[in-house]
Structure 1
Amino acid sequence: MRKTFLFFFILSTTILFSQKNDSLLSYSFEEAYKLQEKEKKPIVVFFHTNWCKFCFAMKKNTFTNKEIIKLLNEKFYFISFNAESKKPININGQTFINKSGIHQITEILASKKGTISYPSTIILSPKNTIDEQIDSFLSVKEIKKILQTYLFNLKQYNH
Protein backbone atom coordinates (compact mmCIF):
# COMPACT_ATOMS: atom_id res chain seq x y z
CA MET A 1 0.00 0.00 0.00
CA ARG A 2 2.75 2.44 0.96
CA LYS A 3 4.74 1.59 -2.14
CA THR A 4 1.69 2.16 -4.31
CA PHE A 5 1.06 5.54 -2.67
CA LEU A 6 4.72 6.51 -3.09
CA PHE A 7 4.67 5.47 -6.75
CA PHE A 8 1.59 7.57 -7.50
CA PHE A 9 3.00 10.52 -5.57
CA ILE A 10 6.23 10.43 -7.59
CA LEU A 11 4.31 9.95 -10.83
CA SER A 12 1.99 12.89 -10.13
CA THR A 13 4.92 15.13 -9.13
CA THR A 14 6.73 14.21 -12.34
CA ILE A 15 3.64 14.94 -14.42
CA LEU A 16 3.14 18.31 -12.74
CA PHE A 17 6.82 19.20 -13.18
CA SER A 18 6.81 18.25 -16.85
CA GLN A 19 3.64 20.28 -17.43
CA LYS A 20 5.30 23.36 -15.97
CA ASN A 21 8.26 22.94 -18.33
CA ASP A 22 5.88 22.69 -21.28
CA SER A 23 4.13 25.94 -20.40
CA LEU A 24 5.02 29.26 -21.92
CA LEU A 25 6.20 31.64 -19.21
CA SER A 26 4.39 34.93 -19.63
CA TYR A 27 5.24 38.03 -17.63
CA SER A 28 3.70 41.43 -17.09
CA PHE A 29 5.65 44.44 -18.33
CA GLU A 30 6.63 45.24 -14.76
CA GLU A 31 7.87 41.69 -14.11
CA ALA A 32 9.89 41.55 -17.35
CA TYR A 33 11.59 44.86 -16.66
CA LYS A 34 12.38 43.74 -13.10
CA LEU A 35 13.84 40.46 -14.39
CA GLN A 36 16.03 42.41 -16.81
CA GLU A 37 17.76 44.01 -13.83
CA LYS A 38 19.12 40.54 -12.98
CA GLU A 39 19.57 39.05 -16.46
CA LYS A 40 19.44 41.07 -19.66
CA LYS A 41 17.38 39.26 -22.31
CA PRO A 42 15.32 40.50 -25.22
CA ILE A 43 11.60 40.84 -24.59
CA VAL A 44 8.96 39.50 -26.97
CA VAL A 45 5.62 41.27 -26.63
CA PHE A 46 2.55 39.73 -28.22
CA PHE A 47 -0.21 42.33 -28.57
CA HIS A 48 -3.67 40.88 -29.06
CA THR A 49 -7.36 41.63 -28.50
CA ASN A 50 -10.32 39.48 -27.48
CA TRP A 51 -12.05 39.95 -30.85
CA CYS A 52 -9.08 39.17 -33.15
CA LYS A 53 -9.39 35.70 -34.69
CA PHE A 54 -5.76 35.72 -35.90
CA CYS A 55 -4.61 36.58 -32.35
CA PHE A 56 -6.61 33.64 -31.04
CA ALA A 57 -5.06 31.38 -33.70
CA MET A 58 -1.54 32.44 -32.67
CA LYS A 59 -2.32 31.79 -29.01
CA LYS A 60 -3.79 28.39 -29.84
CA ASN A 61 -1.25 27.22 -32.43
CA THR A 62 1.97 29.23 -32.47
CA PHE A 63 2.44 29.76 -28.75
CA THR A 64 1.59 26.17 -27.80
CA ASN A 65 4.33 24.67 -29.96
CA LYS A 66 6.99 23.01 -27.78
CA GLU A 67 9.92 24.39 -29.79
CA ILE A 68 8.57 27.94 -29.59
CA ILE A 69 7.86 27.58 -25.88
CA LYS A 70 11.40 26.32 -25.23
CA LEU A 71 12.96 29.10 -27.32
CA LEU A 72 10.90 31.85 -25.68
CA ASN A 73 11.34 30.50 -22.14
CA GLU A 74 15.12 30.13 -22.46
CA LYS A 75 16.16 33.12 -24.54
CA PHE A 76 13.51 35.82 -24.03
CA TYR A 77 11.06 37.30 -21.57
CA PHE A 78 7.61 36.87 -23.10
CA ILE A 79 4.70 39.24 -22.53
CA SER A 80 1.21 38.48 -23.82
CA PHE A 81 -0.76 41.71 -23.60
CA ASN A 82 -4.37 42.55 -24.38
CA ALA A 83 -4.08 45.84 -26.29
CA GLU A 84 -7.40 46.98 -24.84
CA SER A 85 -6.47 46.28 -21.22
CA LYS A 86 -7.66 48.80 -18.64
CA LYS A 87 -4.85 47.94 -16.21
CA PRO A 88 -2.24 50.69 -15.68
CA ILE A 89 1.39 49.72 -16.25
CA ASN A 90 4.14 51.31 -14.17
CA ILE A 91 7.67 51.18 -15.57
CA ASN A 92 10.54 53.21 -14.12
CA GLY A 93 8.18 55.65 -12.44
CA GLN A 94 6.12 56.21 -15.59
CA THR A 95 2.49 55.09 -15.75
CA PHE A 96 0.86 53.98 -19.00
CA ILE A 97 -2.94 53.75 -19.18
CA ASN A 98 -5.79 53.03 -21.55
CA LYS A 99 -7.08 56.42 -22.65
CA SER A 100 -9.22 55.75 -25.70
CA GLY A 101 -9.84 52.02 -25.86
CA ILE A 102 -6.25 51.20 -26.77
CA HIS A 103 -3.60 51.02 -24.10
CA GLN A 104 -0.80 53.61 -24.32
CA ILE A 105 1.87 50.90 -24.20
CA THR A 106 0.30 49.37 -27.31
CA GLU A 107 0.32 52.72 -29.09
CA ILE A 108 4.00 53.22 -28.22
CA LEU A 109 5.30 49.77 -29.08
CA ALA A 110 2.97 48.35 -31.74
CA SER A 111 2.21 51.42 -33.84
CA LYS A 112 3.65 51.43 -37.37
CA LYS A 113 3.13 54.62 -39.36
CA GLY A 114 0.34 55.62 -36.97
CA THR A 115 -1.55 52.32 -37.37
CA ILE A 116 -1.85 49.29 -35.11
CA SER A 117 -2.65 45.88 -36.53
CA TYR A 118 -3.47 42.75 -34.58
CA PRO A 119 -1.78 40.56 -33.79
CA SER A 120 1.48 42.46 -33.38
CA THR A 121 4.65 40.84 -32.15
CA ILE A 122 7.38 43.16 -30.95
CA ILE A 123 10.96 42.30 -30.01
CA LEU A 124 12.63 44.68 -27.60
CA SER A 125 16.39 44.51 -27.28
CA PRO A 126 18.02 43.85 -23.91
CA LYS A 127 18.46 47.66 -23.84
CA ASN A 128 14.66 48.05 -24.35
CA THR A 129 14.73 49.50 -27.84
CA ILE A 130 12.33 48.27 -30.50
CA ASP A 131 14.25 45.92 -32.78
CA GLU A 132 11.37 44.18 -34.58
CA GLN A 133 7.70 44.98 -35.23
CA ILE A 134 5.72 42.28 -36.99
CA ASP A 135 2.06 43.14 -37.49
CA SER A 136 0.57 39.92 -38.78
CA PHE A 137 -0.21 36.33 -37.89
CA LEU A 138 2.97 34.28 -37.43
CA SER A 139 3.03 30.54 -37.91
CA VAL A 140 5.36 28.33 -35.88
CA LYS A 141 7.80 28.21 -38.80
CA GLU A 142 7.74 32.00 -39.30
CA ILE A 143 8.21 32.98 -35.66
CA LYS A 144 10.91 30.35 -35.17
CA LYS A 145 12.89 31.78 -38.07
CA ILE A 146 12.40 35.37 -36.83
CA LEU A 147 13.48 34.52 -33.26
CA GLN A 148 16.49 32.43 -34.33
CA THR A 149 17.66 35.07 -36.81
CA TYR A 150 17.23 37.76 -34.17
CA LEU A 151 19.32 35.79 -31.64
CA PHE A 152 22.00 35.09 -34.25
CA ASN A 153 22.22 38.78 -35.17
CA LEU A 154 22.23 39.79 -31.51
CA LYS A 155 25.10 37.42 -30.82
CA GLN A 156 27.04 38.70 -33.86
CA TYR A 157 26.46 42.31 -32.86
CA ASN A 158 27.57 41.75 -29.26
CA HIS A 159 30.84 40.04 -30.21
Structure 2
Amino acid sequence: MKTGTFSELENFEKQNQKPIIIHLYTDWCSVCKIESFQLKKDKDLIKMINENFYLINFETEKAKEKINFQGKEFNYLPNGNSGIHELALALSRNKNQPVYPLWIILDKNQNLVYYHEGEFKPKKMKEKLDEITNL
Protein backbone atom coordinates (compact mmCIF):
# COMPACT_ATOMS: atom_id res chain seq x y z
CA MET A 1 0.00 0.00 0.00
CA LYS A 2 1.41 3.38 -0.99
CA THR A 3 1.62 5.84 1.88
CA GLY A 4 2.72 9.42 2.14
CA THR A 5 3.38 12.07 4.75
CA PHE A 6 1.80 15.36 5.69
CA SER A 7 4.84 17.23 4.33
CA GLU A 8 4.47 15.49 0.94
CA LEU A 9 0.74 16.18 0.88
CA GLU A 10 1.01 19.81 -0.20
CA ASN A 11 3.14 18.97 -3.28
CA PHE A 12 1.02 15.95 -4.09
CA GLU A 13 -2.19 17.98 -3.89
CA LYS A 14 -0.87 20.48 -6.44
CA GLN A 15 -0.18 17.68 -8.93
CA ASN A 16 -3.12 15.34 -8.44
CA GLN A 17 -6.01 16.13 -6.14
CA LYS A 18 -7.49 13.01 -4.54
CA PRO A 19 -9.42 12.31 -1.38
CA ILE A 20 -7.15 11.79 1.63
CA ILE A 21 -7.22 8.95 4.15
CA ILE A 22 -5.51 9.72 7.46
CA HIS A 23 -4.92 6.63 9.60
CA LEU A 24 -3.95 7.41 13.20
CA TYR A 25 -2.47 4.56 15.23
CA THR A 26 0.10 3.66 17.87
CA ASP A 27 2.57 0.79 18.03
CA TRP A 28 1.07 -0.49 21.33
CA CYS A 29 -2.49 -0.76 19.95
CA SER A 30 -3.36 -4.45 19.44
CA VAL A 31 -6.51 -3.63 17.42
CA CYS A 32 -4.32 -1.50 15.12
CA LYS A 33 -2.01 -4.48 14.51
CA ILE A 34 -4.88 -6.87 13.76
CA GLU A 35 -6.52 -4.33 11.46
CA SER A 36 -3.26 -3.66 9.61
CA PHE A 37 -2.77 -7.39 9.03
CA GLN A 38 -6.32 -7.77 7.66
CA LEU A 39 -6.01 -4.76 5.37
CA LYS A 40 -2.67 -5.86 3.93
CA LYS A 41 -4.24 -9.19 2.90
CA ASP A 42 -7.02 -7.49 0.90
CA LYS A 43 -5.51 -6.89 -2.55
CA ASP A 44 -8.68 -5.26 -3.94
CA LEU A 45 -8.77 -2.76 -1.11
CA ILE A 46 -5.07 -1.94 -1.53
CA LYS A 47 -5.62 -1.36 -5.25
CA MET A 48 -8.64 0.87 -4.55
CA ILE A 49 -6.67 2.98 -2.05
CA ASN A 50 -3.57 3.24 -4.25
CA GLU A 51 -5.56 4.33 -7.31
CA ASN A 52 -8.10 6.69 -5.75
CA PHE A 53 -6.73 8.06 -2.46
CA TYR A 54 -3.73 9.61 -0.81
CA LEU A 55 -3.00 7.60 2.36
CA ILE A 56 -1.15 8.93 5.39
CA ASN A 57 -0.30 6.46 8.16
CA PHE A 58 0.33 8.60 11.22
CA GLU A 59 1.93 7.05 14.32
CA THR A 60 0.72 9.65 16.80
CA GLU A 61 3.20 8.95 19.60
CA LYS A 62 6.35 8.56 17.48
CA ALA A 63 5.97 11.39 14.93
CA LYS A 64 7.95 14.23 16.46
CA GLU A 65 8.41 16.57 13.51
CA LYS A 66 6.55 19.85 13.15
CA ILE A 67 3.60 19.37 10.79
CA ASN A 68 1.80 22.03 8.80
CA PHE A 69 -1.71 20.97 7.86
CA GLN A 70 -4.63 23.04 6.61
CA GLY A 71 -2.79 26.28 7.33
CA LYS A 72 -1.91 25.45 10.94
CA GLU A 73 1.28 24.28 12.62
CA PHE A 74 1.23 21.26 14.94
CA ASN A 75 4.00 20.00 17.24
CA TYR A 76 4.80 16.95 19.29
CA LEU A 77 3.80 17.24 22.95
CA PRO A 78 6.26 15.28 25.13
CA ASN A 79 4.98 13.80 28.37
CA GLY A 80 7.66 11.98 30.35
CA ASN A 81 8.86 8.97 28.35
CA SER A 82 6.13 9.31 25.74
CA GLY A 83 3.90 12.00 24.30
CA ILE A 84 1.43 12.66 21.53
CA HIS A 85 1.35 14.84 18.45
CA GLU A 86 -0.92 17.91 18.60
CA LEU A 87 -2.29 16.99 15.18
CA ALA A 88 -3.68 13.72 16.55
CA LEU A 89 -5.57 15.66 19.21
CA ALA A 90 -6.78 18.21 16.66
CA LEU A 91 -8.10 15.49 14.32
CA SER A 92 -9.72 13.44 17.08
CA ARG A 93 -13.18 14.11 18.45
CA ASN A 94 -11.93 12.96 21.86
CA LYS A 95 -9.56 15.84 22.61
CA ASN A 96 -7.98 14.22 25.71
CA GLN A 97 -7.04 10.84 24.25
CA PRO A 98 -7.79 9.71 20.69
CA VAL A 99 -9.40 6.31 20.17
CA TYR A 100 -7.14 4.05 18.10
CA PRO A 101 -7.19 3.17 15.33
CA LEU A 102 -8.76 6.33 13.98
CA TRP A 103 -9.60 6.78 10.30
CA ILE A 104 -10.35 10.21 8.87
CA ILE A 105 -11.32 10.60 5.24
CA LEU A 106 -11.22 14.00 3.58
CA ASP A 107 -12.50 14.84 0.12
CA LYS A 108 -10.12 16.31 -2.46
CA ASN A 109 -10.79 19.79 -1.00
CA GLN A 110 -9.77 18.50 2.47
CA ASN A 111 -13.29 18.60 3.90
CA LEU A 112 -14.22 15.82 6.33
CA VAL A 113 -16.42 13.18 4.67
CA TYR A 114 -15.98 10.27 7.09
CA TYR A 115 -14.72 9.68 10.64
CA HIS A 116 -14.25 6.18 12.08
CA GLU A 117 -12.94 5.26 15.53
CA GLY A 118 -11.88 1.68 16.23
CA GLU A 119 -11.39 -1.22 13.88
CA PHE A 120 -12.38 -0.57 10.27
CA LYS A 121 -13.14 -3.94 8.68
CA PRO A 122 -11.96 -4.28 5.06
CA LYS A 123 -15.50 -4.96 3.75
CA LYS A 124 -16.92 -1.84 5.41
CA MET A 125 -13.91 0.21 4.34
CA LYS A 126 -14.37 -0.85 0.70
CA GLU A 127 -18.04 0.12 0.82
CA LYS A 128 -17.28 3.53 2.34
CA LEU A 129 -14.37 4.27 -0.04
CA ASP A 130 -16.49 3.22 -3.01
CA GLU A 131 -19.20 5.63 -1.84
CA ILE A 132 -16.65 8.44 -1.54
CA THR A 133 -15.09 7.87 -4.97
CA ASN A 134 -18.58 8.09 -6.49
CA LEU A 135 -19.46 11.44 -4.85
Structure 1: distance between partners of 2:33 and 2:54: 20
The DSSP-based 3-state class of the residue aligned with 1:118 is coil
- Of structures 1 and 2, the one scoring higher in RCO (CA 8 A, sep 6+) is 2
The match for 1:50 among 8, 24, 27 is 27
TM-score (norm 2): 0.86
The match for 1:70 among 47, 53, 67 is 47
Runs of 5+ unmatched residues, structure 1:
1-23, 155-159
TM-score (norm 1): 0.74
| Matched residue type, 2:21 | V
Q: Deviations over 1:90-121 (max 9, x none)?
A: 34774311115221111122x12535200001
Any conservation in 1 of the 2:39–2:46 contact (CA below 8 Å)? no
Question: Could you say what the CA RMSD is over the residues aligned between the two structures, in angstroms?
Answer: 1.7
The match for 2:38 among 61, 65, 70 is 61
| Matched residue type, 2:25 | H
Which residue in the other structure is 2:103 paired with?
121
Greater C-alpha Rg: 1
Runs of 5+ unmatched residues, structure 2:
none
Shift of 1:64: 3.8
Shift of 1:59: 1.4
Flag the structure with higher strand content.
2
Which residue in the other structure is 1:9 paired with?
none
Structure 1: distance between partners of 2:129 and 2:71: 30
The DSSP-based 3-state class of the residue aligned with 1:95 is strand
Structure 1: distance between partners of 2:71 and 2:93: 26
| Matched residue type, 1:87 | E
